[in-house]
Structure 1
Amino acid sequence: MPAHVLNGLSVALGVGLIQVLFGSQASLHVAQLVSSGAVFASLADTPTTPTRSWPRVLMAGLLGALSTWVVASLDPHPRALGLAIMALVFISMMTLAWGPRAGPVSFAVILSIVFTMGVPDGTSPWALTGWHLLGSACYLAWSQLTLRGLQARYRSLTLATALQATAQLLRSRAQAMVQGREVDAATQALNTWVRDEAQLAERLQAARDLLFAAPPSERAQRETAILLRVVDLRDILLASRLDLDLLGDDALADRIRSSLAQRLRTLADALDLAQDRLRGVQHPSPPAGPSLSELLGELQTSPRLAPDDLRARLLPALVNRVRHLSDDVSAIHRLLDRSQTDPTLSAAELQLFVAPEGWPLSALRPHLSLASPVLRHALRAGLALGAAYYIGLALPWASHPQWMVLSVAVVLRGNLEQTLSRRNLRVMGTLLGCVIVVGLAQVSSPLLLMLVFLLAVGLAHSFAIERYLVTAVAATVMALLQAHMAHPNTGFPIAERVADTLLGALMAWAFCFVLPSWERRSLPRSLPRLLGALRHYAAESLQASGPTDPASAVRQRLARRQAYDALGVLAAALQRSSFEPRGVQLPLGPLTALLDHGQRLMAHLSMLRLMRLREGPEMAQAEALNALAQANQTLQALLDPQSTGALEAGIEANALAHKQQLLPSEPPTDNALPWLHRRLQVTQLDAARTAASARAALQALREPARG
């Protein structure tokens, strides 16, 4: 069971217990009011640590209660209520200045508005606010209790999802190896790789936030060691794409790529077994596949390489990378068997990799300008939801105007890509949910309807991020059942729900073009940061102290994560821009080249770090250190955002003139220094191409948008 599903079950159980408690001690009406406060506070209850969770749940409860009082107080004044909704939505969306962790908190305000507008007349604003606050407080206590009890399980399940994403990335890399080298195939492979990279980065950070804050124990140390292995494995996997272009396009090259791809799939299967074991599903030992010496012999003899074929020099290096991947996968299984305990970073060092927490007011300062996407989205959302409310009042079926507000709120996202995706899934989910409610309308048992309502709460919470279609179906069932329980005599207003959803989805799409935040607005600021992050990682990777020095190793890991994050920002911007109007889309050519060469540069730097870590004393010789220092100096000049590009032409010409001669005659296991020199030269080549692509992209972005 994934962590988000277990979390959803915990949420449903907590809301159900609160409803049962107050239903037995007070009345069904009071129980519904209290459970409503619990539901919008529960939005911020996610699989994380108790110390990170309680401020989020508390803030969601307080902002929800504030919205309750405002909406209930202005309910007799519909026109003023519309203005208040705009203001509340604007405030809630501005909380996104604190990053993604504020997303559930911001939506608590929306849900509170919807719940309050659906409460029958007769409850005073202060009483309604009090009951909602009481429900939020009860849920805060429940979430702290369950989080403490489920911490160990959450850690294991979150680590399992990171392993699952790593296995998927291995399969993506294997698929890219055997795909054709045509432009369309290469673009598709890059897009798939970027998508899987983004998913893995998100899951690795979720695992860091849980595992690196765990109290000391043998289990926590073992799982932390596994996570660090997964991070290193991702590094080596990125390097697996290097040098494959030197294989050529003949039948032998296809055979080599196919064999390497099959080995990656075997390792992915082994990771699947590992993540199953973390979930509690036991399997026999992972399949070993051919040994690496057998793999090398197979590649060299089937079909047989000619004695003068330069590719024979490359094969040991390619197999060596597979060996490193295999070593890390085997180490993960040994850790699961408790037969190995890797040394881990200290608690203080691990905390450096945990996402920041807290709600400093200073985070709002950069977003007090119309150049900020957060401010633009807050204004856009406030106008959209206010318009939805007023239109809902004017419609002939205006008994539930809050549904129009909710439909717009759940569809309208900060960019057009996510809005279009949410629009389609929301409409489909509403239709499916209404079909389910048609069946439930034949049920006369209030207890059964209550259980279905609680199940819908849990499902809507569980899949809000992973599978929004499930959330859309569950949310529709939840909304219709809640309306029916509040007004049993009105039946199930299914037709109205469908109409409100369709109109709300259309409005959300239309409002995407009000104060739009097109990607080309923010990218000119992101590209210099990307070059700076790559430059910093190069400096940390090539410094004399090397990866064996503990302090240096920590700095390298931090620099590496910052570089990955910067590349992820560019990849996400490219994906989002593909859904924007053609006249404002990002320049695809130079930015795709920048992403490609930036990833190659990261791969080269990772290979250099691993060579220094695993090749022994050779890397500490004066010749090696001098070469590293000179290469670092060149990289710092190339990746300087203020660079004019004077070095690039010479590096490009030199690399093209000596492309084949750069392959050393001895395998890296016999003499690593020639391979170090080669790696440094191709690293400088991709750094030059990265810098050139960045300048070309910036030049294209300075051109005025069309339309």
Structure 2
Amino acid sequence: MIKPLKDFKDFLYTQYFSDGIKITIGVMLPSLIFFQFNLLEIGITISLGALCVSIADSPGPWIHRKNGMLFTILFISLTSFVTALVNTNVYLLSQEIFSFCFVFAMFNIYGERAAAVGTAALLVMVLNIIPGKSSLKLFEHAIYVILGGGWYFLLSIAFSKIRPYRYAQQTLGECISEIADYLKLRARFYTPEISVEDNFKDLVNQQIKVNNHLDNVREALFKTRKLLNDSTNAGRLMVKIFVDMVDLFEQTMATNNDYDTIRRKYEGKDVLIHFNELILKLSKEVNYIGFCLVHQEKPNNKTVTIKDLDHLKYKIDLLEKSGENVLILKKILINLRNIYKRTLAIQNYFGKETQELKSSSTPAELSRFVNHQSFDWKLFKNNLNLNSSVFRFSLRLAVVCLLGFMIGKLFSFGHHSYWIILTILVILKPGFSNTKQRNFERVIGTIIGGILGALILTFVVSQTLKFIILLVAMLITYSFIRVRYIVSVIAMTPFVLILFNFINTTNNTAILASERILDTLLGSLLAILFSYFFLPGWESLQFKSYLGNILKANLNYFEHIILRQSLMPVSETEYKLARKEVYVNTANLAAAFQRMIKEPKSRQNHVNEIHKFVVLNHILSSYLANLSAMFLDNKSAINSEQLKLIRKSRFYLEEAIEKVNDRMKGTTKNKLHIHLSENKADQEVTEQLQSINKLSADLNKISEKL
């Protein structure tokens, strides 16, 4: 619903379109104003500063965006000055390209925003490597770049002040939409249209998206002091909805069962179709919550009613009367009722008063759910070795950019040969698979965009119409650059060609377009070759850490579930932190596996075993979520039989960690002070623990192969 490209009207409400408008205004306005005074060169220089600072203005808490933009202004001004100082000397310029590419690429160790600051500095360097391109003096050029950065910084402040909650609302709404899609995928388990194995694959991939959005929301909410301490409805409503939505996501994971058996057992019965329909309705209900949040509306439509649940219960009862065992279906129905009740509770928050929305967690507790990046010099120094993937990438980028520059100089690939280096900067990523994907999108997008640009400049005579097309192309470029890169590139190429046409009417359109395409192809070829042959970053080389981390996370989650039943119960915050680690590491493992299967076959190790490992861990997480729900519902104590199963499961997981990591590095064993019950065991809990024990044993076996 609110996902980009799914519905154009709803896309207009997303953060991507808002950012596109902001960047377009920030970049275009200075050039337009100074053009009126015949000072286009100054205007373009200011626009360049604004463009570079916009790179660091990526989604996140305002304090991080502010710091990122301020550091970007500092680095782009220094880089601009140094480049303009040495660009007449090929040897000095070569040294600058190599050293700056290496240093700024090393910023990746400090996270995505720091990497964006480095990218902005490199962009300024590349766009200033042609000597004589600017008639401005060195200090003048640097000052105008600073002014451009400052102008964009003030514009970003204005946008954030006008609608202070908008980013958080959009991010949370998109996150809820992804959770709804996850629930929708679970509905497919109850139809024979897709195999259980294929659906699990899609489910794990969707969990990557959900987790990325959960992280974005945590950053937006729990690192923004105004939202955490807000005494108004807007801030408290978002925190309350998010906390409950994560619990709802856990509830959706707790619906995991042996779906192959369920399909065989109830084949030919219409009850599974009714389960499918109800879950699809629930996913629409969840999606509607996200819609209301983004569109700032109060929910007033109900996709699911209690009659839908009662109708499904009626169908199950009919099946039971016919002699079928329907215990598993009743369990699933109970879980769906819980999800339904939670959606109702969340919808009711929209009409609550401020005091009623107050979260039970303190700001200090909530801030523990976000990662805090260290900018210690020691971290930089410790990564200056070939064991560091960031060091290898930085060295690779420095070498290939220098080579691209030398090729452009030696073979004179047109006046705009800096496009080769720009292409390399955009395409080359730390991992081979990401470089391969970005390479494909860049080449195809540039070719399509180049043809479109040439057609526009050939057949569109009106300067006014050209300018309107330029604005639309810019808006598309900056709106889609973070969400659909290929769309962004297709729009970017005609936007650049039209811009050059306005700046210099003597430029030949066909030559400009062919130069862009040729430079892009050459830069792409260099990027992909060096990704493969020079200090490559293969996923298989670092897969063991992902395997060990998810095993540790699931073990810790399991122990915290049991600890809630012990004589020394953990706090709700500690439990939720353990749950969060499972989500994060599951997504990291699945994403790494996706990247690995895009690499050359010769570099793929134990693909089938790793895929099975990924799926088994996802199922284990679901079983653990189900166990947690059972303990909360039944409030039953653990008996000796169940304690044996718990200990055996722990042993299998601990042994699996040892096999994967060769040692129990980083694993802290929790002590379980459990008061054993002498009463008869809760059969459902025992069965769930048996399932967990079997899965743990299977993971232990497969870890030996890995």
Give the alignment's TM-score, normalised by structure 1: 0.86
Q: Assess if the C-alpha contact under 8 Å between 1:15 and 1:454 holds in 2.
A: no
Residue in structure 1 matched with residue 518 of structure 2 by the alignment: 499
- 1:238 aligned to which of 250, 253, 256: 253
**Aligned Cα root-mean-square deviation (Å):** 2.9
**What is the aligned counterpart of 2:628 among 593, 609, 633?**
609
Partner of residue 153 from structure 1, selected from 153, 157, 166: 166
Counterpart of 2:23 in structure 1 is 11
Change (3 A) 1:454 1:364: farther
1:419–1:254 CA distance, 2 compared to 1 (3 A): farther
Residue 117 of structure 1: SS of its match in structure 2? coil
Secondary structure in 2 matching 1:237: helix
- Of residues 63, 67, 71, the one that matches 1:59 is 71
Identify the match of residue 541 of structure 2 among 521, 524, 528. 521
TM-aligned CA deviation for residue 94 of structure 1: 0.8
Cα distance, 1:50 vs structure 2: 1.9
User: 2:576 corresponds to which residue?
Assistant: 557
- In structure 2, do the counterparts of structure 1 residues 187 and 501 end up closer, same or farther at CA, with 3 Å as the change threshold? farther
Deviations 1:228-281 (A, max 9, x none): 122112212222222434425155376443332222111111122222212227
1:316 paired to 2:326: no
8 A contact 1:604–1:683 mirrored in 2: yes
Q: Which residue of 1 aligns with 2:3?
A: none
How has the CA–CA distance of structure 1 residues 640 and 548 changed in structure 2, closer, same or farther, with 3 Å as cutoff?
closer
2-structure distance, mates of 1:480, 1:136: 24
Contact 2:656–2:700, Cα closer than 8 Å, also in 1: no
In structure 2, how many angstroms separate the alpha carbons of the residues matched to 1:419 and 1:681? Answer: 44
Contact 1:41–1:136 at 8 Å: present in 2 too?
yes
Q: Which residues of 2 match residues 558-573 of structure 1 at below 5 A?
A: 558-573=577-592
Aligned-residue offset at 1:527: 2.3
Partner Cα separation in structure 1 for residue 467 and residue 139 of structure 2:
27
2 CA distance for matches of 1:643 and 1:354? 26
Shift of 1:176: 3.8
* 2:66 corresponds to 1:33: no
- Going from structure 1 to structure 2, the CA distance change for 1:298 and 1:442 (only over 3 Å counts) comes to same
> Matches of residues 342-357 of structure 1 in structure 2 within 5 Å?
343-357=359-373
The residue aligned with 1:639 is 653
Q: Quote the Cα distance in structure 2 between the aligned partners of 1:644 and 1:44.
A: 41
Q: Are the equivalent residues in 2 in contact too, given 1:591–1:694 (CA < 8 A)?
A: no
- Describe the SS at the equivalent of 1:252: coil
Q: Within 1, Cα distance between the matches of 2:117 and 2:526?
A: 23
Farther off after superposition, 552-561 or 97-106: 97-106
CA separation of 1:391 and 1:644: change in aligned 2, threshold 3 A = closer
The aligned counterpart of 1:264 is: 279
Q: Which ranges of structure 1 fall in alignment gaps of 5 or more residues?
A: 646-670, 698-707
User: What residue is the counterpart of 2:217 in the other structure?
Assistant: 207
Instruction: Report what 1:469 is aligned to.
Output: 486
- Displacement of 1:479 in angstroms is 3.0
Q: Over residues 410-443 of structure 1, what are the superposed CA-to-partner deviations in whole Å (9 max), with x where a residue is unaligned? A: 2222222222222222122212322332314555
Q: Distance in 2 between matches of 1:525 and 1:62?
A: 36
Shift in Å, 1:524: 2.0
Check if 1:587 corresponds to 2:606. yes
User: How far off is 1:178 after superposition?
Assistant: 2.3
**Is residue 336 from structure 1 mapped to residue 365 from structure 2 by the alignment?**
no
* Aligned length, in residue pairs: 660
1:97 to 95, 109, 127: 109
Please state how far the C-alpha of 1:124 moved relative to its aligned partner: 2.9
Question: In the alignment, does 2:187 pair up with 1:174?
Answer: yes
* Residue 688 in structure 1 maps to residue 705 in structure 2: no
- Aligned equivalent of 2:666: none
- Tell me what 1:409 maps to: 425
CA displacement at 1:163 relative to structure 2: 1.2
8 Å CA contact 1:274, 1:333 repeated in 2: yes
Task: Look up the match of 1:124.
Answer: 137
1:188 paired with 2:202, answer no
Q: What SS is found at the alignment partner of 1:122?
A: coil
Distance 1:643 1:503 in 2: 45
Residue 30 of structure 2 contacts residue 44 of structure 2 at CA under 8 Å; is this kept in 1? Answer: no
Amino acid corresponding to residue 692 of structure 1 in structure 2 = K
- C-alpha separation between the residues in 2 aligned to 1:342 and 1:317? 33
Q: Say if 2:201 and 2:615, in contact at 8 Å, map to a contact too.
A: no
Shift of 1:38: 0.9
Query: Which has the higher mean CA deviation after the structures are superposed, 196-205 or 425-434?
Result: 425-434
Task: Please state whether the residue corresponding to 1:107 is helix, strand or coil.
Answer: helix
Contact 2:45/2:145 (8 A) holds in 1: yes
**8 Å contact kept, 1:429–1:473:** yes
Residues 1:674 and 2:683 are matched in the alignment = yes
Q: Which runs of 5 or more residues in structure 2 are unaligned? A: 1-12, 660-679
Instruction: Describe the superposition over 1:654-698 as per-residue Cα deviations: whole angstroms up to 9, x where unpaired.
Output: xxxxxxxxxxxxxxxxx992212221221222122223222322x
Match of 2:684, SS? helix
What TM-score do the two structures reach when normalised by structure 2? 0.87
Identical amino acids, percent of aligned pairs: 22
**Map of 2:302 onto structure 1:** 286
Pick closer, same or farther for the CA change 1:253–1:609 going to 2, 3 Å. farther
The one-letter amino acid paired with 1:320 is I
Contact kept, 8 Å, 2:26 with 2:51, in 1: the verdict is no
